[in-house]
Every structure is written in C-alpha cells, then in structure tokens.
Amino acid sequence: MILLQSSAGCEKALSLRAKVSHTWLDHEVMMVPTELALLRWQRNGWLGVQDRWQALHRIALDLADHLDDFSAARLVVRLPALASLPATLRDAMTAQLDAMHRELMDTPAIRASYMTRLQALWNDSLHFFEMANRAYEDARADDFIARWQAVRDAASSLRAMFTSGEIPQGSLLP
C-alpha cells in the first residue's frame, strides 16, 4: 500500500476517513477518559455534543459509500503520465485494476463489518446521550460510567478498522 499525494484518486474518501477516525473516534471519544466524561456531565458539558456527533455519524455513513475510491483504478484518470494513452487502453487498465482491487480488498465484507460496528457505536451513543443530556444525578453515576464505557468500547472496535489498515490510508496498488 502506498499513499499518493497529488495523484491520489481518493481525496474524498481520505477526508471522510480522517474525520471519522481522528475527529470523532480519537478526539471525541478515545481522548475522553471516564473521569472527564463524568466531570462534563456534572458541568452540563455534554449539551450540544449530540448534534456534532450526528453530523459525524452522517460523515461516517458517507465514508461507507466511498470505500471503492481506494482502488488504484481511480488513478488512471489522475496520473498525468497516463493522460496521453488511448481511451481504450485506459479503460482496459481501469477494468483490470478494479478487478485486482477486488482481490486485494474485500470491500463488501469490509463495508458490512464497518456498518455493523458503526451501528453499534451509534446505538451506544444514543443510549449514552439519553443520560448525558439530562442533569447530573449522583446516584446514577455508575450507570453513566457504564454507558460511556460502552461508547468507548464500540469506538475502539470501529477504530481498529482504521488502525489495522482494513480501511486504507491511501490508494491501494496491486
């Protein structure tokens, strides 16, 4: 796998990837330990966060539709060195590279796994916000902590798809 820069055909997918993996999972979840989450609840600090997460959730759904962008076939129309080739040859290359990509990356299976984990995260998030959006109750702190931990576990599971490379960091060359 190599990360291309100017010639990348997957800018949109990479942008979505960064927002899901880094903006949402890293910054919004993994960097918020239980103590901080609880402190935020005590200070009404979770109010409004759900709206932001809804936007991030939509971005995460959008990413699922762009997983094919990591195919090297997308590079054929982007690389200046290939621009002068006959269209028939470039079409043939595109088809071949797409076929190779399917061997390299089982996109349907990855998408299915991604959607399952994303749905789990979203369900746990909604469950968490049911409580986080209400006023702090000392007696329910343990329940709150359990709900936040469930969010973190689900986020960690989803994040593993990014850190493992299942969801690539750039165009995949065969």
Can you give the binding site for another protein, defined by CB under 8 A?
Answer: 1-8, 10-12, 14-15, 17-19, 22-23, 25-27, 30-31, 72, 75-76, 79-83, 85, 89, 92-93, 96-97, 100, 104, 156-157, 159-161, 163-166, 169-170, 173-174
Phi-psi region of 118 (alpha: psi -120 to 50; beta: other; left: phi over 0): alpha
Residue 8: CB minimum distance to another protein, A: 5
Mark 115-125 as b/e (b = at least 16 C-beta within 10 Å). Answer: eebbebbbebb
* 93 backbone dihedrals φ, ψ, rounded to 5°: -60, -45
* 20 backbone dihedrals φ, ψ, rounded to 5°: -70, -55
The DSSP code for 69 is G
Secondary structure element (H or E) that encloses residue 114, with its range = helix 107-132
Residue 136 CB coordination number (10 Å): 17
Nearer to another protein, 6 or 48 (CB): 6
Nearer to another protein, 84 or 142 (CB): 84
Residue 153: CB minimum distance to another protein, A: 10
Nearer to another protein, 91 or 143 (CB): 91
Angle CA 14–18–21, to nearest 5 = 130
Residue 79: CB minimum distance to another protein, A: 4
Residue 144: CB minimum distance to another protein, A: 23
Nearer to another protein, 90 or 134 (CB): 90
Nearer to another protein, 5 or 139 (CB): 5
Residue 126: CB minimum distance to another protein, A: 23
